[in-house]
Amino acid sequence: MKHTAFTHDNYHAQLSAKIDRITAQFAPFNPPALEVYESPISHFRQRAEFRIWHTDKDGADDMFYAMFERDGKSKKVIKITDFAIASRAINELMPVLLNELKQNSLLKDKLFQIDFLHTLHGQMLVTLIYHKKLDDDWQILAKALADKLNIKLIGRSRGQKLVLTDDFVIEKMNVDVRGQKQAFYYQQIEGGFSQPNAHVCRHMLNFACDVADKISQHDKKDLLELYCGNANFTLPLSGYFNQVLATEMAKSSVNAAKWAIDYNNINNIAIARLSAQEFSQAYHGEREFRRLAKSDIDIKSYDFNTVFVDPPRAGIDDETLKILADFDNIIYISCNPDTLFENLQSLNHTHKIKRFALFDQFAYTHHIESGVWLARR
């Protein structure tokens, strides 16, 4: 399948539809003019996942990358020969890797899926997923393949995960912090969450930092961050506040965030392994958590004036919204305009939108990433 629809006109047509949709939807809140941050037209995704489809070609087993297209009630198999929305490095590796796998019966047998994770920093992690148990012979051949292609490689099957070197790649983001370009390094874990469009992610980081700069110029205090993930926003935002308390529930993300804090030599961030609901309980003194005590975190010692949130698609629950209403400033990044709209119906009683942005994180799809700065009325 050759992708030929990625043109300047096609891209801006879909982007205009998103702008019209979100502008109309949020008009009741009377926001300021929408700031629009575009995606590159092609080669913008740092992640890609493909099924591997096996066929009998001239009496020999052949295979190709595949995706599926709905055809009525059934699925139609689409052969993928290139994938123009994925990074150039992924596109360059795809045929080379497939050819290497085809030449070895042990590596290609019962291969079900291949996942790619690439970073702007130049690291590549490939996961090979099988419908069979992987043995020592597979590991020897896979290690040789990884060395030959200069990639990190993981083998997976049911109940099995074989990491040949690392289960993560390092990303580097250059962000404008107080007018100076600053490099931040992150650990992106296989199977974990990371922003798929790294180019747009930089726009998101710069937007958040610009808002934080405006806030800290008038009132530099402490920052609370909920749903911090691998500390994607936490690191650059830390330069604008005295202290940062960031919360995250997933252990792998907490570990990645702690790695990033140490690697970037930042000393004013504390990570608490709490869900947003658990933080609400701790914040209101309804429950004590050993996890906070073990990390020497005293929530009462913080002087918060700003909260940063980047919640999942379901948005923010009612109890957490009550906490947000206590803050002078809210920086809210959303991957779902519908749940953002619902949350703003509550927050609009106490806060007014000062900035409103659309980040085209998911180009050529209906998904919309947006950001708002809410200041207390």
Q: Active-site residues: which are they?
A: 335, 369
Q: Is residue 248 part of an annotated ligand binding site?
A: yes
Instruction: Tell which residue, 312, 347, 344, 311, has the closest CA to residue 326.
Output: 347
Contact 18, 368 (CB under 8 A): yes
What is the rounded distance in angstroms from the CA atom of residue 13 to the CA atom of residue 6? 11
What is the rounded distance in angstroms from the CA atom of residue 111 to the CA atom of residue 236? 40
Contact 280, 224 (CB under 8 A): no
Specify the amino acid at residue 208: A
Q: What is the DSSP string of 187-246?
A: EEETTS---SBHHHHHHHHHHHHHHHHHHHHH---EEEEES-TTTTTHHHHGGGSS-EEE
Q: Is residue 227 part of an annotated ligand binding site?
A: yes
Q: Sign of the C-alpha dihedral, residues 177, 180, 185, 188?
A: positive
- Map residue 62 onto helix, strand or coil: strand
The encoded tokens of residue 236 equal: 């650059």
The encoded tokens of residue 245 equal: 């308390």
Q: Is residue 91 part of an annotated ligand binding site?
A: no
Binding annotation for S-adenosyl-L-methionine = 195, 227, 232, 248, 310
Binding annotation = 195, 227, 232, 248, 310
